[in-house]
């Protein structure tokens, strides 16, 4: 990793249907698997992670800013505004085809109290004549001082690499928080890892526990099925420990997997296929990639 590696948190805001989900999916290069739609209590939920050799962008799902019609609505707007103060950058996505709307005005009014820099991202440029684009951008610019203005088409991918480049430039220097192949993160990752570790501890003796770590390599719904695929690796420090963990003809590992899977299914309310591996990694405690993943607590 270069020493000037950049990383940080980016909130994507905008009216419904401006293309937020489309942009997110395009940037991470695949559909972001939604593992659970249980209501979130956290203000910022990680939605997608983009990684390249220059930096890592963590996109957050912050509560939307809509004109409040109630006390609860007011509280939600307040929460959303506070959340926007905690990120490194805000992408305000607007719809070139629909043009300026009252929803945009409301968001801009609220951005005025927020210290985080804001990019205006004008989406759906594939639907408008270039001559109409500049007056629209001017209109937004008169209302707010955006750090950058980036016209894109999230659907066709026009100018999205420029957008990524500008985002990374704006982020502070920082570490890679997530492994490069990870595009989503959910608290479930952590819980699932802990469940596996718990079963290992319950089914083995003292020589195993302290040297065991569990990494969830992949967790996603199988296309078109109500089945969650989870691929996990249990790391031990010595080959002898690996042998113990696997057991005679794989019996122990099978037992660990079965117990963990049954509990996960109850917890997450979905059928699960658990693909469980054991690997030896001497000194995993010093391995940067693993530490990053183990160190994560939401």
Give 20 or 186: the residue with its C-beta nearer to ligand GDP: 20
Give 59 or 146: the residue with its C-beta nearer to K ion: 146
In the complex, least distance from residue 243 CB atom to Mg ion, rounded to whole angstroms: 48
Check binding of 114 to K ion (CB under 5 A): yes
Q: Which residue shows structure tokens 């980016």?
A: 10
Given Mg ion, K ion, ligand GDP, none, residue 114, with its beta carbon under 5 to 8 Å by kind, binds K ion
Q: What whole-number distance in Å separates Cα of residue 2 and Cα of residue 149?
A: 28
Q: What whole-number distance in Å separates Cα of residue 218 and Cα of residue 187?
A: 13
Mode of pairing for the β-strands spanning 213-221 and 227-236: antiparallel
CA distances (Å), 90 to each of 46, 115, 129, in order? 14, 10, 27
Given ligand GDP, K ion, Mg ion, none, residue 16, with its beta carbon under 5 to 8 Å by kind, binds ligand GDP
Check binding of 143 to K ion (CB under 5 A): no
126 annotated ligand-binding residue: yes
Token pair listed for 142:
């008169």
In the complex, least distance from residue 183 CB atom to Mg ion, rounded to whole angstroms: 16
In the complex, least distance from residue 279 CB atom to ligand GDP, rounded to whole angstroms: 39
Token pair listed for 228:
């969650």
118 annotated ligand-binding residue: no
Torsion of CA 62, 154, 223, 221, to 10 degrees: -20
Terminal alpha carbon distance of the chain? 24
Given K ion, ligand GDP, Mg ion, none, residue 153, with its beta carbon under 5 to 8 Å by kind, binds ligand GDP
- Say how many residues touch K ion, by CB under 5 A: 1
With CA atoms as reference, report the closest residue to 279 among 245, 249, 228, 229.
245
Interface ranges with ligand GDP (CB under 6 A): 14, 16-22, 123-124, 126-127, 153-155
Where on the phi/psi map is residue 145: left (φ > 0), alpha (ψ -120 to 50), or beta? beta
Looking at 106-114, 161-169, 203-211, 216-224, which segment touches K ion (CB under 5 A)? 106-114
Interface ranges with Mg ion (CB under 5 A): 20-21
In the complex, least distance from residue 251 CB atom to ligand GDP, rounded to whole angstroms: 48
DSSP letter string, 138-170: HHHHHH---SEEEE-BTTTTBTHHHHHHHHHHH
Looking at 17-25, 111-119, 146-154, 240-248, which segment touches K ion (CB under 5 A)? 111-119
Check binding of 201 to K ion (CB under 5 A): no
Give 123's contacts (C-beta < 8 A, 6+ positions apart). 18, 19, 22, 23, 93, 94, 95, 96, 152, 153, 154
Enumerate binding residues for K ion (CB under 5 A).
114
Instruction: Tell me the binding residues.
Output: 14-21, 61-65, 123-126
Instruction: Tell me the binding residues for GTP.
Output: 14-21, 61-65, 123-126
């Amino acid at each position: 990793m270069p020493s000037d590696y950049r990383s940080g948190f980016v909130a994507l805001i905008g009216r419904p249907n401006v293309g937020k989900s489309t942009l997110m999916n395009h940037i991470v290069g695949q559909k972001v698997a939604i593992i659970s739609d249980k209501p979130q209590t956290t203000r910022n939920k990680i939605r997608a992670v983009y990684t390249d050799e220059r930096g890592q962008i963590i996109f957050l799902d912050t509560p939307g800013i809509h004109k409040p019609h109630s006390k609860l609505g007011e509280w939600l707007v307040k929460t959303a505004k506070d959340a926007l103060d905690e990120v490194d950058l805000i992408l305000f996505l607007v719809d070139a085809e629909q043009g300026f709307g009252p929803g945009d005005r409301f968001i801009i009014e609220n951005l005025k109290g927020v210290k985080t820099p804001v990019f205006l991202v004008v989406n759906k440029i594939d639907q408008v004549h270039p001559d109409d684009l500049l007056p629209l951008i001017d209109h937004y610019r008169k209302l707010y001082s955006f750090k950058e203005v980036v016209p894109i088409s999230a659907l066709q991918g026009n100018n999205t690499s420029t957008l990524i480049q500008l985002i990374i430039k704006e982020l502070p220097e920082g570490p890679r928080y997530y492994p490069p192949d990870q595009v989503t993160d959910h608290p479930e990752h952590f819980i699932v890892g802990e469940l596996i570790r718990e079963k290992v501890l319950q089914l083995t003796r003292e020589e195993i526990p302290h040297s065991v770590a569990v990494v969830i390599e992949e967790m996603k719904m199988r296309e078109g099925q109500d089945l969650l695929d989870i691929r996990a690796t249990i790391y031990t420090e010595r080959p002898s420990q690996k042998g113990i963990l696997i057991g005679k003809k794989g019996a122990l590992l099978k037992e660990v997997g079965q117990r963990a899977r049954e509990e996960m299914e109850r917890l997450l309310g979905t059928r699960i296929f658990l693909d469980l591996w054991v690997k030896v990694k001497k000194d995993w405690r010093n391995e940067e990639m693993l530490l990053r993943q183990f160190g994560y607590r939401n």
